[in-house]
Structure 1
Amino acid sequence: MTEEAHNFLSKKNIVIGLDAKSRDDAIRQLAQVLERNGTVTDANAFAADVLKRESMTTTGIGHNIAIPHGKSKSVKQATMVFAKNKTPLEWHSLDGSKVQIIFLMAVNPDDPSKEHLRILAKLSGKLVDDDFVDEIKKENDPARLLKIFADEEE
């Protein structure tokens, strides 16, 4: 895994057993995680930016997975949170499925690096691989999940 990709997802940004009650609640809770981890300066502002983006078109890509993302001035460093919610959430997914797997991407609009686009493209490519999706759905150990993502990068 490249150094940039490795910095993009870290153990502290893996949340197993998220207990969100709605899409908006999930985004707000994960924004708080990013604020606690120091990559977002204002969780509320970031969540508002993500929800604004979400109102334009759903990020529920199907197969119980969503990739919400937002460009926000409150993002200090491009990053991603991987979360599994305890219960399926309504997300207006393209295939009508409820979401339990969430990849929340955080990007600063002034970041000249397009690393997040490369990561998003790689992630999107992996998410069409049924074996990869099955693995991340079954695995609940953050270290093992990081290894699955790392293996997929090589």
Structure 2
Amino acid sequence: MELALGELLDERLITLDLQATEREGAIRELAGLIDRAGKLADRDEYVNAVLAREALGSTGVGHGVAIPHGKSPAVREAAVAFGRSRTGVDFAAPDGRPADLVFLIAAPEGAHDLHLKALAHLARRLVHDEVREALRQAGSAHEVVRVLAQA
């Protein structure tokens, strides 16, 4: 079954001005968007799950992209948040480049491989230079959703 990114990402979960300058701060800031949208039961518990996953290995994938993720019982409803950073955040990507496009995937504990499907879905789209560039140039959250929906 193909996962529709539009089911997990909406305009409330997007910031085009990510303020955090380090990895944990970026994760906390994006988790705040997911929490404010009512999709988390416990923000701190979810953030701790993401940080535990980060400790296993970087989620910086290169080309200025990072996709931190976590599965936790603190997640009420699966979601993907997106933040664009002006300065970039070090996610220890293989190419050494800081991430200016950060996606945070939240999956409930019982969601089996939902986060893996979301990861694969994003990776298939973000491999294309034109998709990454369109995200960097997007002027609104609506435009981000449109770019990812058609990519």
User: Which residue of 2 is the match for residue 65 of structure 1?
Assistant: 65
- Percent of pairs identical after alignment? 31
User: Which residue of 1 is the match for residue 138 of structure 2?
Assistant: 139
C-alpha separation in 2, matches of 1:90 and 1:19: 13
2:86 is aligned with 1:86: yes
Q: What are the Cα deviations for residues 89-145 of structure 1, in whole angstroms up to 9, with x where unaligned?
A: 221111100111100000112125x44433321211111111111111111311111
Aligned AA (1:137): R
Aligned AA (1:11): E
Change (3 A) 1:10 1:146: same
Two-structure CA RMSD over aligned residues (Å): 1.6
Aligned AA (1:75): V
C-alpha separation in 2, matches of 1:86 and 1:56: 27
C-alpha separation in 2, matches of 1:16 and 1:84: 5
Aligned AA (2:147): I
Q: Secondary structure at the match of 1:58?
A: coil
**1:30-49 residue pairs with structure 2 within 5 A?**
30-49=30-49
2:127 is aligned with 1:128: yes
C-alpha separation in 1, matches of 2:35 and 2:23: 19
Shift, 1:87, TM fit: 1.6
C-alpha separation in 1, matches of 2:45 and 2:78: 15
Change (3 A) 1:4 1:123: closer
- Provide structure 2 residue ranges, at least 5 long, that are not aligned to the other structure: none
Shift, 1:4, TM fit: 4.9
Count residues in correspondence: 150
Give the TM-score normalised by structure 1. 0.90
Mapped contact 2:15–2:82 kept (Cα < 8 A): yes
Shift, 1:7, TM fit: 2.1
The 10-residue stretch of structure 1 (62-71 or 80-89) with the greater mean CA deviation from structure 2: 80-89
Change (3 A) 1:151 1:62: same
Aligned AA (1:138): Q
C-alpha separation in 1, matches of 2:41 and 2:86: 27
C-alpha separation in 2, matches of 1:21 and 1:124: 23
User: Which residue of 2 is the match for residue 23 of structure 1?
Assistant: 23
C-alpha separation in 2, matches of 1:33 and 1:145: 15
- Provide structure 1 residue ranges, at least 5 long, that are not aligned to the other structure: none
